[in-house]
């Protein structure tokens, strides 16, 4: 017999005289988390909480005592912590998850180290230099650990570096170029994480991680196209306009083949938003606003209907 | 057919565990299963409904504003209430997934017009917020739709926070946070009792639970984000104390469920 779910218990309770203590017992036996899962959750949760508070404590320690510390002590403490972190990773050989969590914390400490270094020596470097240095020096750790939360930090650093470089150094880069570049970078990462495990002996990335990457990529393409509409000719806007349908098409194909409803939801929703922005650019009078409202309701309704039908098809 | 057999086996299993007084309306159960299967909405669909409804209501609101509905306070009030009632009736009558987006759009649009109309009638800010809370609570108990129930819950929470800000009684945010923490704890721990007590309200359980969580998070955000609500730093710990006690109580409940028995009153339990 398949697992009893909360929905089963709700439906039967609604149409029966099932007593309160029996309902509670059914929930406890079939729905609520068991002892083993609680144990795992608590050990992981407390570990992550402990590591996070330690890193934050270190950051605030430096912030609060900045004036009173000698520069050798400031940099020495941080370098010492980075070394202790790496030694901790080497020591915890039998516990891969703890190794990865310590490495992620050490990655954050590398950032703090470079921030402190920049403050102490007042190098006059742009903010992007800080993020670029941080990104480069944790690349090997990100690749070796292959730990999704660390990859999230790494990819965020890459994106921030690109944005700050465009703002502070590459003043000749158009806004469209930056959006096209960010879209490309995130799509490349997404493709790598989806496809590399098929060819190399790598662990398959968790669904939440690839979904976050896909959402980030789509956000850049959507915002980029919306900003580009009506702004005049920019060759990189045309590049984005060509790349986006291709990537979206691949996303829909992937969603259908791998039965991932997430891609079938976010790609069409992005298209709906882009078309609405296009319509708004054409005119912002009452008739057009009504048209946009009706278009969004109709399009989202059809999208939901399609997703519902495809879900049922996959379930059967 | 496979799912029907599973449902029947489940009912038989429960019958075997209960005494002869256990009565179940099998036809109603199978109809409910069928209805839920036809309208199964995963998280992506629910989020699409909310955002789609929000975006389209902005478009409709813009349309109405350009047409000059803003010039007629009574018009806004009537149209706003009409949209709210229409949204409730439509979602209750059809109970179809595809109606959700339109229902959410009408609901948000109706509420927006209703609030603007109340301000135009020169009601005080507090009176408007109280009326919105009452309307949201009434909607919550009338509507059978997940998304509308969730939006109503959020509306109530946000209005309470706005009431605190508008009256400059910033320390009351602790009461807000504590009440929502207690409410959420009760909801989670007494799920069985709530299900058995009000089976007709079961469709509210999931949106109420997630609404409680979000409203509680809003309270924590108001306390934690500096400058959002100017709470005196010396009293920041007050709501934390209650939340710690609630957490300890929940830990005790979980451990007791796993048969970790202790002498009554032994607080060494928590160490």
Euclidean distance between CA atoms B208 and B216, whole angstroms:
12
Which chain B positions have a beta carbon within 8 Å of A35's beta carbon? 258
- Interatomic CA distance for residues B154 and A301, integer angstroms: 23
The arithmetic mean of pLDDT across residues A22-51, rounded, is: 86
Q: Is residue B254 scored above 70 in pLDDT?
A: yes
Interface check A313 vs B, CB under 8 A: no
Q: Per residue in A217-249, pLDDT tens?
A: 999 999 999 999 977 678 889 999 999 999 999
Buried b (16+ CB within 10 A) or exposed e, A228-267: bbeeeeeebbebbbebbeebbeebeebbeeeebbbbbbbb
ipTM above 0.90, yes or no: no
pLDDT tens column, A53-109? 988 898 888 888 888 888 888 889 899 999 999 999 999 888 898 899 999 999 999
Are B103 and B53 a contacting pair, CB within 8 Å? yes
A72-76, long-range: CB < 8 A, 24+ apart: A74/A116, A74/A120, A75/A113, A75/A116, A75/A117, A75/A120
Distance from CA of A165 to the nearest CA of B (A): 30
pLDDT, average across residues A187-216 = 92
State residue B2's pLDDT score.
63
Q: Which helix (H) or strand (E) holds A132?
A: helix A127-145
pLDDT at A297 over 80: yes
Specify whether the CB–CB gap between A150 and A141 falls below 8 A: yes
Task: Convert A64-89 to b/e letters by CB count within 10 Å (16 or more is b).
Answer: eeeeebeeeebbebbeebbeebeebb
CA dihedral B71→B77→B78→B83, nearest 10 degrees, is 110
* 202-261 of A, contacting B, C-beta below 8 A: 261
Q: Which two tokens stand for residue B169?
A: 């009684």
pLDDT band at A207 (very low <50, low <70, confident <90, very high): very high
- pLDDT tens, position by position, B69-104: 878 888 889 999 999 999 999 888 887 777 888 888
Mean residue pLDDT of chain A comes to: 90
Does the pLDDT at position A148 exceed 70?
yes
* Residue B247 CB neighbour total at 10 angstroms: 13
Quick one: average pLDDT of A275-299?
91
Which range has highest mean pLDDT (A181-185, B19-23, B202-206)?
A181-185
Q: Which residues of B touch A262 (CB under 8 A)?
A: 44
Tokens encoding A90: 């080497």
pLDDT at B266 over 70: no
- Rounded to a whole number of angstroms, the distance from the CA of A171 to the nearest CA of chain B is 34
- Contact by Cβ (8 Å): A225, A241: yes
pLDDT for residue A267 is more than 70: yes
The CA distance from A301 to A162, in Å, is 37
Q: Give the Cα separation of B125 and B162 in Å (integer).
A: 9
Predicted confidence at residue A2, as pLDDT, reads: 64
Q: CA-based angle A216:B55:A278, to the nearest 5?
A: 75
């Amino acid at each position: 017999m398949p697992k009893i779910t909360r929905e089963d218990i709700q439906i039967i309770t609604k149409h029966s005289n099932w007593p309160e203590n029996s309902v509670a017992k059914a929930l406890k036996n079939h729905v609520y988390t068991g002892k083993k899962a609680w144990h795992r959750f608590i050990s992981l949760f407390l570990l992550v909480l402990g590591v996070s508070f330690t890193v934050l404590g270190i950051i605030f320690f430096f912030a609060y005592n900045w004036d009173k510390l000698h520069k050798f002590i400031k940099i020495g403490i941080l370098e010492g912590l980075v070394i202790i972190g790496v030694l901790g990773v080497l020591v915890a050989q039998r516990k891969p998850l703890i190794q990865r969590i310590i490495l992620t914390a050490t990655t954050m400490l590398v950032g703090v180290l470079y921030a402190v270094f920049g403050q102490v020596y007042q190098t006059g470097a742009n903010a992007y230099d800080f993020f670029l240095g941080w990104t480069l020096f944790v690349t090997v750790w990100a690749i070796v650990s292959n730990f999704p939360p660390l990859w999230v930090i790494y990819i965020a650093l890459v994106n921030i570096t690109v944005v700050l470089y465009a703002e502070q150094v590459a003043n000749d880069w158009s806004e469209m170029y930056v959006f096209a570049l960010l879209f490309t970078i995130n799509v490349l990462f997404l493709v790598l994480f989806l496809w590399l495990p098929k060819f190399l002996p790598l662990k398959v990335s968790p669904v939440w991680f690839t979904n976050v990457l896909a959402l980030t990529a789509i956000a850049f393409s959507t915002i980029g196209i919306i900003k580009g509409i009506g702004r005049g000719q920019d060759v990189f806007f045309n590049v984005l306009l060509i790349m986006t349908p291709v990537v979206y098409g691949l996303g829909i194909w992937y969603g259908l083949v791998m039965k991932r409803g997430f891609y079938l939801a976010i790609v069409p929703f992005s298209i709906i938003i882009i078309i609405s922005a296009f319509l708004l650019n054409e005119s912002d009078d009452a008739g057009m606003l009504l048209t946009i409202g009706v278009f969004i309701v109709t399009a989202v309704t059809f999208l939901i209907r399609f997703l519902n039908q495809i879900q049922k098809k996959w379930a059967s | 057919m496979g799912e029907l057999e599973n449902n029947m086996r489940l009912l038989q299993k429960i019958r075997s565990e209960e005494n002869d007084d256990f009565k179940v309306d099998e036809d109603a159960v199978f109809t409910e299963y069928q209805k839920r299967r036809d309208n199964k909405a995963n998280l992506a669909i629910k989020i699409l409904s909310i955002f789609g409804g929000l975006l389209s209501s902005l478009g409709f609101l813009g349309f109405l504003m350009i047409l000059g509905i803003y010039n007629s306070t009574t018009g806004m009030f009537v149209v706003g209430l009409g949209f709210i009632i229409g949204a409730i009736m439509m979602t209750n009558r059809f109970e179809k997934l595809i109606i959700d987006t339109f229902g959410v759009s009408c609901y948000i649009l109706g509420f927006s017009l209703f609030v603007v109309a109340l301000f135009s009638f020169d009601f005080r800010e507090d009176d408007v917020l109280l009326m919105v809370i009452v309307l949201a609570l009434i909607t919550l108990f009338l509507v059978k739709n997940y998304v509308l129930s969730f939006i109503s819950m959020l509306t109530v929470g946000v209005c309470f926070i706005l009431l605190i800000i508008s009256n400059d009684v910033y320390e009351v945010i602790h009461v807000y946070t504590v009440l929502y923490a207690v409410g959420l704890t009760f909801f989670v721990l007494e799920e069985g009792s709530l299900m058995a007590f009000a089976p007709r309200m079961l469709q509210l359980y999931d949106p109420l639970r997630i609404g409680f969580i979000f409203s509680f998070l809003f309270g924590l955000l108001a306390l934690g984000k500096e400058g959002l609500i100017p709470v005196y730093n010396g009293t920041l710990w007050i709501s934390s104390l209650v939340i710690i006690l609630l957490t300890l109580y929940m830990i005790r409940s979980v451990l007791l469920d796993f048969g970790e028995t202790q002498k009554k009153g032994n607080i060494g339990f928590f160490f």
